Amino acid sequence: MPPSSLRVVYAFAREMHPKTSDVFIQYGTAGFRTKANLLEHVVYRMGLLAVIRSRVKNGRTIGIMITASHNLEPDNGVKLVDPDGEMLEQSWEEIATRLANVSDNDLESTTEQVIREVKADMSLKASVFIGMDTRYTSPRLAAAASNGVIALKGTPKELGIVTTPMLHFCVRCRNDNKYGTPTEEGYYEKIVGAFKNIRQKLPVFGEYNTTLYVDGANGVGGKKLNIIRKSLDGELDLNLYNLGGNGGKLNLNCGADFVKVSQKPPVGVEHVPFQRVASLDGDGDRLIYYFLDDKENMHLLDGDRIATLYASYITELLNTCEARDLKLGLVQTAYANGASTKYITEELKVPVTCVKTGVKHLHHAALAYDIGVYFEANGHGTVLYSQNAKNTIRKITLEGEPEQRKAAELLLNIIDITNETVGDAISDLFLVETILCARGENVRQWLAAYTDLPCRQLKVTVQDRNAISTTDAERQCTAPEGLQLKIDELVGKYANGRAFVRPSGTEDIVRVYAESDTQQEADKLAVEVSQAVFDLAGGVGNRPELPA
C-alpha cells in the first residue's frame, strides 16, 4: 500500500478519534482495559491492527471484542481474536501497545512501519468481525473500531451485542466452516442443540433436579440465556435473575467475579436452601456455581470444581470407551486451591500443569494433551480436543462394542456442547448440567468430592506494579529483594499455609492469595503478606487490612 493510501488513517484519527490523553496503556492478558473515556483512539487503532493482522493471515477473519468483562460499568476494553478463535498471538501484543500509544501525528508513519515489519500484503482483502457487550459506551467504541477497519480498506461486520465467547465462536466458524455457522443463531444451533440432544438420551434420576437459578450479572450472558430458555423444551428450567432491569448495574454486587472474590451471594437473587445457583460475569465468559445451606452458609463451586467435574466424567467415558491411548490432562494457575490439585493428581490420577495467570497461557498448555481441560479458579475455562482425540472417539462410535459406542456418542455430544475457542459461561453451564444429570448428583454430592482449603484474596495499591517480578508460574517472587523470603517466613507459621503475590495485568495493584487450614488463619496470612508487599513494594494509602 503506497504511503498516500495511509493518509486517511491520520484523517480519521484527527477528525473523529483523536488521542486526547497521554496516559500510557498496555495490551495485557485481557487486551486493553481502562476507563471508557480513555479508549476511543485505542479502539480505532485496533481496527487498523485487525486489518493488518487479517492480511498477514491471508485474508482470514479477525475478531474485535469491545468489553471490560467483570469490571464495573464505567470501564471498557478491547481485545483482538485470532483466526481460530484464540487470543491474539503474544508477539503482537507489543505491536498493539506501540500503535495505541503513538501521537496522532505519528500514527500514519507507525502504521506504515508495522505493515513493513510484519510483511502484510495490503492488496489482500481483509475481514473483521466486531462484537460488544451491554455497556452504554460500547456502541461508540464499536463504531471507532469499524472506522479503523474502513480506514485501511478492510470489511467490518458488526455482530452487535454478543457474549465474548460468541464472538470467538463466530470468528472460528468464519475461518473453518466445519466448526459451525458464524452467527449467533449458529452458536445456539450447535451448542444448545447438542445439549438438548444429549439430555434427551439421559434420564433424570437420583438427586439431580432440572431447576437452575442463574445470576446474569446484569450483562449480556443473562440476556442470551433468556433467549435460549424458550427453546430448551423442559430439559432445563432456568430461573434468571440480574438481567439488567430494575436499575441493576453491570457486575455491581453480582456476577461471577463478585461471588468468587467476596465469597458472598450476589444481590438480586432469591435463595432456596441447597438450590444450585450459577453466576455468570458481565460478558459471559466466566461461570461460578454456589449454594446456600439451611443455615445460610455459602458453599462455592468455582473453576477448580468445574474442572475436576469435567476431568472425572470425561475420564469415566474414556475408560468405558477403552480409549486408553488418549492422554487427558488438566491445566491450572497458582490460584487453584491446593486441595483441588491434590485431588486431581492423587484421586483422579490426572496430570496437572501449572501456568501463569491468563487464559492464553492455559489454552496453550492444554494443547499439549489429546484432551486438555483448563480452568482458572475464577471460572474461566473450557476443554480442548485434538483432532486425534476426535477421530479416535468417532471411530469407536462406528466400530466399538455397544457400551463403548454409547460412551463415545456421549463424548461426541459433549465435544459439540463445548466452545473450544475460549472459556464460555453458557457452554460451561450446559456441560455442568449434563454431567450432574448423567450422574444423578446434586450440588452437595458434587461438593463432597474434596474439601477446599480456606483461602483469601486481597489487593494492595502500589506506586508501580512493575516493581513486582515473579517466576515459577507466578508462585515465587523475584523482586523486590527480600519479599519472597518474608512470604516464606510468614507461610511457615501456618498449617497448610500457601501464599503468592503477582502484579495486576491492568492496574497498579498487587494481587495477594493465601490459603491455610482455617478461614481465620487464611485471612491473617493474607493480611500479613499484603502488609509485607505494602512495605517492600511501594504501597500507597493505608496499610492493608481485611475489608469490612
Whether 66 and 77 have beta carbons less than 8 Å apart is answered as: yes
Whether 158 and 149 have beta carbons less than 8 Å apart is answered as: no
> Is 502 a known ligand-binding residue?
yes
Can 69 be counted among the known catalytic residues? yes
95-111 burial string, b = 16+ CB within 10 Å, else e?
bbbbbbbbeeeebbebb
Cα separations in angstroms, 58 against 53, 120, 252, 267, 458 = 9, 9, 42, 48, 45
Whether 42 and 20 have beta carbons less than 8 Å apart is answered as: no
> Is 434 a known ligand-binding residue?
no
> Is 376 a known ligand-binding residue?
yes
> Is 469 a known ligand-binding residue?
no
- Secondary structure of 61-78 as H, E, C letters: CEEEEECCCCCCCCEEEE
- Secondary structure of 395-436 as H, E, C letters: HHHHHCCHHHHHHHHHHHHHHHHCCCCCCCHHHHHHHHHHHH
481-496 burial string, b = 16+ CB within 10 Å, else e?
eebbebbeebbeebee
Record the cell numbers describing residue 360, joined without a space: 492464553
What is the amino acid identity at position 482? G
Judged by DSSP in three states, 154 sits in coil
Residue 50 has φ and ψ, to the nearest 5°, of: -60, -40
* DSSP 8-state symbol, 124: S
Selection from 117, 102, 104 nearest residue 25 by Cα: 102
Whether 417 and 431 have beta carbons less than 8 Å apart is answered as: yes
Beta-ladder partners of 352: 330
Going by C-beta distance under 8 Å and a sequence separation of 6 or more, which residues neighbour residue 187?
166, 169, 170, 180
> Is 109 a known ligand-binding residue?
no
> Is 283 a known ligand-binding residue?
yes
E strands in 170-286: 211-215, 237-241, 277-280
> Is 506 a known ligand-binding residue?
yes
- 4, 21, 54, 69: the catalytic one is 69
> Is 377 a known ligand-binding residue?
yes
User: What is the Cα Rg of the chain in Å?
Assistant: 23
* DSSP 8-state symbol, 37: G
217-236 burial string, b = 16+ CB within 10 Å, else e?
bbbbbbbbbeebeeebeebb
User: What's the farthest any 2 CA atoms get from each other in the chain?
Assistant: 71
> Is 504 a known ligand-binding residue?
yes
Residue 328 has φ and ψ, to the nearest 5°, of: -105, 135
Sign, CA dihedral 408-414-418-424, equals negative
Residue 242 has φ and ψ, to the nearest 5°, of: 55, 60
Residue 78 has φ and ψ, to the nearest 5°, of: -150, 140
Catalytic residues: 69
- Pick out the residues of the known binding site for substrate: 376-378, 502-506, 511
- Pick out the residues of the known binding site for Mg(2+): 69, 281, 283, 285
- Pick out the residues of the known binding site: 69, 281, 283, 285, 376-378, 502-506, 511
